[in-house]
Structure 1
Amino acid sequence: MNTEQPHWITSSYSENGGQCVEVATNLAAIHGTVPLRDSKNPAGPALSVHATAFATFLTGVKTGEFSA
């Protein structure tokens, strides 16, 4: 696999008819960023988030920091 190209993945929890965000974590070690995109528009723009910020966000999700 070419590690310079994003390898897009969707969460296994995303079973809502394609209303998902996709991430490409394979670029974190190489570029220090994690690209995100709308799964409904794969040819559209992608947002790149710093890998550390993305890891912090995931930790917050897992610990319930964002629960209502």
Structure 2
Amino acid sequence: DTIGAGDTVNAALLHGLSQRDALSPHALEDMTPTDWEDLLRFAAHAAAVTCTRAGAEPPYATELDEL
């Protein structure tokens, strides 16, 4: 079920940026390609978890901590 997958990607990106203290334009400029790869992988994983559930049921951050 893909309901909510896009919203989950956006939420995971914001969460990941916040965890990296990278919500300012200057901090975004300092992110390396590897940082972006890790962040995008995290967001894709979060969306994949959402797709395994019925309805828009995104994972909690604690469910993704092992990444």
Same fold (TM over 0.5): no
TM-score with structure 2 setting the length: 0.31
